[in-house]
Amino acid sequence: MNILLAILVLGSIAAIFGALLGYASVRFKVDADPIVEQLDDLLPQTQCGQCGYPGCKPYAQAVADGEAINKCAPGGEDTIKKIADLMGVEVQPLDESHVQGDTTASNRPKVAFIIEEDCIGCTKCIQACPVDAIIGAAKQMHTIIIDECTGCDLCVAPCPVDCIEMRELPDTIHNWQWDLTSIPVKQLD
């Protein structure tokens, strides 16, 4: 008899708590992982795929699942810093294998440049550009809108006559930065 009572009591406690949790899971339902949306907003939306993922949204998902935060080349240091703030992790330098162009060269932002006398007007680079920073039409010479170009590199490969190259932006008062890390700081341990 006592055993039956014990089973009944424990069973009813469990049933009440189960109902409570069931209600709570409906009441406090989280639609999607909101962190992915927030990360996606931080990424530059070039969909360039340099991070190794098919676009910005998949990379945002991957970062939310624990992928390294330093793979977005078009976003650069700025984006990495924002992602680090959001995710609560340390800021890391841009991953070496994702630095644009020659890794030995400086890390200054680059934009695509079309050598216009070689351009045959094939429009292949226009189709490749994720941010519509190339203007031109078939059989017409193309050119880059420097302000729109994110330096994602995607137009270089499709060009059949190799007339696109990545050039460093010249220093202007808008993009010049102090090279504050030029004195190497070594942590002793």
Residue 163 among known ligand-binding residues: no
For helices 76-87 and 34-42, angle between their N-to-C axes, nearest 10 degrees:
160
Pick 2 or 172: Cβ nearer another protein = 2
**Is 68 one of the binding residues for another protein (CB under 8 A)?**
no
Residue 155 among known ligand-binding residues: yes
Please report how close the Cβ of residue 85 comes to another protein at its closest, in angstroms: 10
Please report how close the Cβ of residue 11 comes to another protein at its closest, in angstroms: 11
Pick 14 or 115: Cβ nearer another protein = 14
SS3 at position 136: coil
Q: How far is CA 57 from CA 27, 43, 45, 101, 175, in A?
A: 28, 8, 8, 24, 28
Please report how close the Cβ of residue 76 comes to another protein at its closest, in angstroms: 23
Please report how close the Cβ of residue 24 comes to another protein at its closest, in angstroms: 5
Give dist(CA 155, CA 134) in Å, integer: 9
**Residue 8, token pair as written in the block:** 């009944």
Give all strands (DSSP E) within 42-173, no chain letters.
Answer: 110-114, 134-135, 143-144, 164-168
Binding site for another protein (CB under 8 A): 2, 5-6, 9-10, 13-14, 17, 20-21, 24-25, 28-30, 33-35, 86-88, 188-189
